[in-house]
Amino acid sequence: MNCLKVGKKVTKVPLIQGGMGVGISLGRLAGSVAKAGGAGIISTAQIGFREPDFDCDPEAANLRGIEKEMRKARELSPDGIIGYNIMVALKDYKEHVKAAVKARADLIISGAGIPSKLPELISGSDVKIAPIVSTLRSAQVILKYWDRKYGRTADLVVVEGPLAGGHLGFSKEELEYWKKESYDEEFAKIRNLVQQYEEKYQCRIPVIAAGGIYERKDVEKMEHLGADGVQVATRFITTRECDADERYKEAYIRAKKEDIGIVKSPVGMPGRAVLNPLMQRVMRGEKISHSPCHRCLAGCKPSEIPYCITDSLIAAAKGDVEHGLLFCGACGWKAEKMETVEEVIESLFSTK
């Protein structure tokens, strides 16, 4: 793999740190990864949860948080590649994208839905854009629409496989269908599709492999399959620079393989998380009381949800690992100790 070029900037290693909300990948982690030579990504999902007016005005709190966390990241890495992960499923998706452009992001990565209007929202800026896709079909829909509607294509494409953490781009049936070898074939098909748009637009469109990338052998495998780089998220949770509470990080170090499973988010999307007491209660059919709506996800009906995803993710980020939602990649159980960002990157890419 070569280093990744994002605009006029180039990484030292072909690595993007995956966005993790709420409060897991903020300015400190993203800035540290950028300083170490990767691309650091801030998640905008309920990014302003620590702001004093978050409960009464989450929209304004989140917009302030977008600017504040970029400033923190830039203090650590003035010239590094720093961007945002912005979920299409957010009610304020459009406003978050515009705030990211205003904050002078280098890159916006967008998934959890079809980012059909992303090119329009960043028009006139130098911000680069990358959709997250999980299947050939989703890649075809996005790239074809951007081509026809805007006369442009993606700057990067992140291909997120079934071993990823958090909300997944697969139905429950698809997760049961995709085996390791069959998804390797799907990745190759997406890579071939992207090459068609590279030829049409006479440009390089790096294809970034994501989901289950945890060790050097995972990086080598995806390189063999034609990936231009990797996106790594869960591995960075147990770093000293991660923005989460120390108790959150320790929960991953304690987790065993059988402690990680597929759960359903309040809006019906499948996700992967640590099966802690909260998730066990939810899986038994309990309905967890929650605070007033924080207006985070489109399609959420507060009166019908089994638990509030905002409440649960904030609780986890603050260290309440019994009552919080701990999203996690399939390989999260492999964490054995706290590391630094530099140590993680060294272990993934060192040839020593």
pLDDT > 70: percent of the chain: 94
For 164-190, write each residue's pLDDT tens digit.
988 787 877 777 777 666 788 899 999
Closest CA to 14 of 33, 31, 39, 36: 39
Closest CA to 263 of 167, 161, 163: 167
Backbone phi and psi for residue 6, each to the nearest 5 degrees, phi listed first: -125, 100
Is 77 in contact with 34 (CB distance < 8 Å)? Answer: yes
Query: How far is residue 42's CA from residue 62's CA, in Å, rounded to a whole number?
Result: 12
| DSSP strands (E only) in 211-309 | 229-232, 260-264, 270-274
Is 66 in contact with 86 (CB distance < 8 Å)? Answer: no
At 292, the pLDDT band (50, 70, 90 cuts) reads low
- CB atoms under 10 Å from CB of 149, counted, come to 12
At 79, the pLDDT band (50, 70, 90 cuts) reads very high
What pLDDT is stored for residue 197 in this prediction?
Answer: 97
What pLDDT is stored for residue 302 in this prediction?
Answer: 65
Residue 38 has pLDDT above 60, yes or no: yes
Residue 295 has pLDDT above 70, yes or no: no
Mean pLDDT of 283-298: 71
Bigger pLDDT: 116 or 278? 116
Q: Give the range with max mean pLDDT: 105-119, 272-286, 309-323.
A: 105-119
At 311, the pLDDT band (50, 70, 90 cuts) reads confident
Mean pLDDT of 53-82: 95
Bigger pLDDT: 1 or 301? 1
At 300, the pLDDT band (50, 70, 90 cuts) reads low
Q: pTM score, two decimals?
A: 0.92
Indicate the angle between helix axes 58-76 and 93-102, nearest 10 degrees.
Answer: 30
Query: How far is residue 273's CA from residue 130's CA, in Å, rounded to a whole number?
Result: 25
What pLDDT is stored for residue 297 in this prediction?
Answer: 64
Per 3-state DSSP, the chain is made up of helix, strand and coil in percentages (nearest 5) of 40, 15, 45
For 113-144, write each residue's pLDDT tens digit.
899 999 999 999 999 999 999 999 999 999 99
Q: Which of 16-25, 77-86, 275-284, 285-294 has the lowest mean pLDDT?
A: 285-294
- What is the pairing mode between strands 9-10 and 5-6? antiparallel
What pLDDT is stored for residue 351 in this prediction?
Answer: 58
For 198-227, write each residue's pLDDT tens digit.
999 999 999 999 999 999 999 999 999 999
Query: How would DSSP label each residue in 6-46?
Result: ETTEE-SSSEEEPP-TTTTSSHHHHHHHHHTTSEEEEE-TT
**Would you give the distance in Å from CA 15 to the centre of its chain?**
13
What pLDDT is stored for residue 288 in this prediction?
Answer: 74
At 67, the pLDDT band (50, 70, 90 cuts) reads very high
Mean per-residue pLDDT of the chain: 91
Closest CA to 207 of 255, 265, 157, 266: 157
Query: How far is residue 22's CA from residue 1's CA, in Å, rounded to a whole number?
Result: 31
Residues paired with residue 130 on neighbouring β-strands, in sequence order:
109
How would you class 235 by CB atoms within 10 Å of its CB: exposed for 0-12, middle for 13-18, buried for 19 or more?
buried
Residue 352 has pLDDT above 60, yes or no: no
At 331, the pLDDT band (50, 70, 90 cuts) reads very high
At 265, the pLDDT band (50, 70, 90 cuts) reads confident
Q: Any idea of the CA torsion for 171, 115, 162, 172, to the nearest 10 degrees?
A: -10
